[in-house]
Amino acid sequence: VIPQLPHLDIAVFMKTATEVGGDYYDFHVHLDGTLTVILGDATGHGMMSGMMVSIMKSLFMSDRTNKALKPFFENASAAIKDMQLGRLMMALNCVQISKNKIITTNAGMPSLIIYRNDSQTVEEVVINNMPLGAMKEVVYDVKEIKIEKGDTLLMMSDGFAELKNQNQEMYGYKRARNSFEDSAKKEPEEIITYLRAESRNWTNSLEPDDDVTFVVIKVK
């Protein structure tokens, strides 16, 4: 369920490439109104990635009231590694939004992109952390960033940038960033409509090989 909050406008889109998807998103609204958003992508496809999504959902649900991102990521990574699932891992992006700032970390997902309303420019929040489950003992970096009214955030899985056209060319992260910049003044639902149209144009309406997920959040 997408939270309804007075200071945020949120839209989500997910299209799975198979019946059991490996992409996963979730929300939690804390008692003080802070919103935690996670978007993840399990390695592989089918039943194994679906199992990883279930594990990640359980880990998030059991610790969702805890606002400390660093220990959550480090403990989740250790827990997944302890399950001895081989090469099965979870890439995960997390954004915690309060009125004038975000706290964010990223474990192997495409970077969070922020459209700045004042300067009308986009910036990528690059955080180079390992996917969850890659190593048992790993330190996760966390960033704190100021946000203002009119700013828009895009979280996405790699399925969008990795869409292929008829010549097997990938859409790429530069085009993905540019497409977001071109549409970022719109409302979140309209941004997603625009990104989906760009996807269909690039692939000539062919079905994607990977899950494609967008979470768009505009600060009101």
What's the pLDDT at 47?
A: 86
What's the pLDDT at 21?
A: 72
pLDDT in tens, 99-149: 899 999 999 999 999 999 999 999 999 999 999 999 888 999 999 999 999
What's the pLDDT at 46?
A: 76
64's CB contacts (< 8 A; 6+ apart) are 26, 28, 36
H or E element that contains 10: strand 8-15
Residue the block writes with tokens 């700045």: 116
**Domains of the chain, start order:** 8-219 (3.60.40.10)
32's CB contacts (< 8 A; 6+ apart) are 98
Split at pLDDT 50, 70, 90, the class of 19 is low
Q: Are 28 and 95 in contact (CB under 8 A)?
A: no
Q: What mean pLDDT value characterizes the chain?
A: 94
The angle that helices 173-183 and 188-203 make with each other, rounded to 10 degrees, is 140
170's CB contacts (< 8 A; 6+ apart) are 161, 162, 163, 164
What's the pLDDT at 139?
A: 94
Q: Are 148 and 118 in contact (CB under 8 A)?
A: yes
